[in-house]
Amino acid sequence: SVLVIACPCALGLATPVAIMVGTGKGAENGILIKGGEALETAHKVDTIVFDKTGTITEGKPTVTDVLPADGFSEEALMRVTASAEMGSEHPLGQAIVQGAQEKGLELMQVADFEALTGRGIRAKINGQIILAGNRKLMEEQGIALGAFEAEADRLAGEGKTPMYVAADNSLTGIVAVADVVKPSSRRAIERLHKMGIQVAMITGDNKKTAGAIAKQVGIDRVLADVLPQDKAGEVKKLQAEGRKVAMVGDGINDAPALA
């Protein structure tokens, strides 16, 4: 629709009405527009940063690989990992719990659950301290990765997220989880490239996993191993380069960067 102004005095009413309608239409399509200034400068955007999980991907990860250490079975590793992850709100943790439930595994009672931001989780099961998370968590606890380090690299290169699992500071195996790329992601990024816009992806995943996903959809720049609280800082770094940046995300972890 078009709003026609017949005299300059009417601009005082027409301008805010146009902005209000524009921001309202954006909200209807899941686009947060902070105000008139943001709407006015939108045409200057030359860089768009996408969150990975739930934005580039479907946000519905599933378990793809279960690699137990000697002395453990796949079933035992899944059972203890899923039990430890029951208190987690992270999509990867929830995927492991769902995977165990689909296999009909009986989960165990957990005590002292703790989410370790950007690293994984810690829980106590039958008196044992269970850790599930990334390489950084294992290194902090002085847990030797051995041959599993190469396995984790292989899985990451396939676009999967490997999660190390340890019991009482002894590695018990790896559970890998993967999220499917949205069919529309590559097409959307191709259209942005044709408009001359640089596209970046920001994620807490390791560089290999993030790089594999970015390659699938044709993304130019990957910002990996970024903690939720650091996403806003990465956006500011791009702005410091003189770029006009838009951020696209759907999770609570993206809120500071979206603001």
Active site residues: 51
State the Rg of the chain over Cα: 22
Residue ranges of E strands in the chain: 47-51, 62-68, 111-116, 120-125, 128-133, 161-167, 170-178, 198-202, 221-223, 245-248
β 111-116/170-178 pair status: unpaired
Cα(123)–Cα(127) distance, rounded to whole angstroms?
A: 10
DSSP assignments along 152-215, one per residue: HHHHHHTT-EEEEEEETTEEEEEEEEE-PBPHHHHHHHHHHHHTT-EEEEE-SS-HHHHHHHHH
Q: What are phi and psi of 174, to 5 degrees?
A: -130, 135
CB crowding 234-259: b at 16 or more within 10 Å, else e: bbeebeeeebebbbbbeeebbeebbe
Cα(232)–Cα(117) distance, rounded to whole angstroms?
A: 16
Cα(204)–Cα(53) distance, rounded to whole angstroms?
A: 9
Q: Name residues whose C-beta falls within 8 Å of residue 194's C-beta, 6 or more positions apart in sequence.
A: none
